[in-house]
Structure 1
Amino acid sequence: MKNVLVVGAHGQTGRQVVAQLKENAAFKPIAGVRSQSLVKEFTDQGVEARLVDVRQPVAEIKKSLEDVDAIVISIGGGWMIDLDGKVKVYQAAEQAGIKRVVLVSAGAIQHFHDEKKLEWMSQWEEYSAAMYYADLLLRQSSLDYTIVRPENLTNEPKTGKITVGDYLPHNYTSRANVAAVIVASLESDNAVRKAFDVEDGTTPVGQAIDEI
């Protein structure tokens, strides 16, 4: 059983990831949250929880990584979270000897600087730039990363069927399906050092991950 720290477990997608990891016998989720009240919320549900505040120095973040085998990063909130915070988690992981990292990003963000840039990226340029460079720095790191770039997120139930690609029309993706993609990526060596857009579709999640 692998211990998977979900940084941002208190968010809507993070909660889905924790729930689906809990259902999988291969993994033990650890909820990484930003306050002690949230730690209590998860521990009351029978889920181990740790305070992981990405606004703190790398050395403090590293302290929360004991006995962690993989990290899922599902956080957002401007430059100090979407860039500075994410990069500090990468650095802490490298210092702790943790190789496997799955990052939840945003659909088509890799095209922030080209002709495929989406309209919302111009409306939210600083936020978009932060995500773009956080992705770029992870891809340039030594970590065994997977970058999952979901389209417009919804709270629809999990269908277990998706479409993946380098550039999708920016349709809709349920958070439950994104969580399923994350769990499947943790199970698959084929997902290592891969980055892809994802939306709700017709291909079973496991098959889609095997074919990326």
Structure 2
Amino acid sequence: MRVVIAGGHGQVALRLERLLAARGEQVAGIIRRPEQASDLQAAGAAPVVCDLESATVGEVAGHLKAASAVVFAAGAGAGSQFARKDTVDRGAAVMFADAAEAAGVRRFVMVSAMRVDQEPSEGTDPGFAAYLRAKGAADADIRARSGLDWTILRPGRLTNDPGTGLVTLAESTGRADVTRDDVAAVLVGLLHTPGTARRTLELTGGSTPVNEAVAQAAG
């Protein structure tokens, strides 16, 4: 399997790259800054320098040729300006999906967030509200596509604690923390479980082993 990850230098993405490379998979990570390349190489991934905010669909599709699956794990980041919530968290995700379709890559896994299907509650930090709206719009676009075998993963609050290998993965889990290690492990499982296509799944720490949780989600 060849997997291409948008946002390849992110904390979850680097963990995912290590796991895939350890399995002997071919993995590439799309990054915006050339100085990030060495971190991807250390993780076992081939770096692809491409700014998803300015690249065309055709340019990105060229990087996705021969891919078996793609993962969108990019994000503007907590300190980014409001405009980049839209251009990255929504716009780049939609463009990446367009590129996947153009390249003939059906398997598309989206790393999203909880509570993006509803209007942010009164008093929500404006920057975070803009992020939630952008992610919600991206998810809606992905779910409307018949040309992709998509899975949307919505983790709870991310932590850097060591992974436990035990999670709760379901359409609705309630809000709770989850380690980035466990998110990456679940993403590996989703990529290798076609039965999870066209599912929107929430993820938190829990009591079910990752492989079992993914198999249950595939139903």
Same topology, TM > 0.5: yes
In the aligned structure 2, how far is the partner of 1:168 from the partner of 1:94?
Answer: 31
Amino acid at match of 1:105: S
Aligned with 1:205 (options 210, 213, 216): 210
Is 1:84 the counterpart of 2:88? The answer is: no
> Could you tell me how far 1:97 is from its partner in structure 2?
0.4
In the aligned structure 1, how far is the partner of 2:133 from the partner of 2:142?
Answer: 14
Identity %: 29
Contact 2:18 2:44 in 1 (8 A): no
Aligned with 2:151 (options 130, 135, 146): 146
In the aligned structure 2, how far is the partner of 1:76 from the partner of 1:120?
Answer: 23
TM, length-normalised to structure 2: 0.87
In the aligned structure 2, how far is the partner of 1:59 from the partner of 1:7?
Answer: 15
User: Relative to 1, partners in 2 of residues 1:24 and 1:133: Cα closer, same or farther, differing over 3 Å?
Assistant: same
In the aligned structure 2, how far is the partner of 1:94 from the partner of 1:54?
Answer: 16
State the superposition RMSD in angstroms: 1.8
> Could you tell me how far 1:66 is from its partner in structure 2?
2.5
Contact 1:108 1:197 in 2 (8 A): no
1:157 maps to 162
Aligned with 2:108 (options 81, 97, 101): 101
Contact 1:13 1:178 in 2 (8 A): yes
Amino acid at match of 2:181: A
2:132 maps to 128
How many residues align? The count is 206
Three-state SS of the structure 1 residue aligned to 2:169 is strand
Amino acid at match of 1:66: K
Structure 1 alignment gaps of length 5 or more: none
1:60 maps to 59
Is 1:169 the counterpart of 2:201? The answer is: no
Contact 2:21 2:27 in 1 (8 A): yes
User: Relative to 1, partners in 2 of residues 1:46 and 1:209: Cα closer, same or farther, differing over 3 Å?
Assistant: closer
> Could you tell me how far 1:153 is from its partner in structure 2?
0.2
In the aligned structure 1, how far is the partner of 2:72 from the partner of 2:188?
Answer: 13
Please, which moves more after superposition, 133-142 or 165-174?
165-174
Is 1:33 the counterpart of 2:31? The answer is: yes
In the aligned structure 2, how far is the partner of 1:119 from the partner of 1:171?
Answer: 21
Contact 2:29 2:48 in 1 (8 A): yes
In the aligned structure 2, how far is the partner of 1:19 from the partner of 1:169?
Answer: 29
User: Relative to 1, partners in 2 of residues 1:46 and 1:102: Cα closer, same or farther, differing over 3 Å?
Assistant: closer
In the aligned structure 1, how far is the partner of 2:44 from the partner of 2:170?
Answer: 36
In the aligned structure 1, how far is the partner of 2:9 from the partner of 2:57?
Answer: 21
Amino acid at match of 2:30: G
Amino acid at match of 1:73: F
User: Relative to 1, partners in 2 of residues 1:19 and 1:130: Cα closer, same or farther, differing over 3 Å?
Assistant: same
Contact 2:173 2:203 in 1 (8 A): yes
Contact 1:162 1:205 in 2 (8 A): yes
In the aligned structure 2, how far is the partner of 1:149 from the partner of 1:119?
Answer: 22
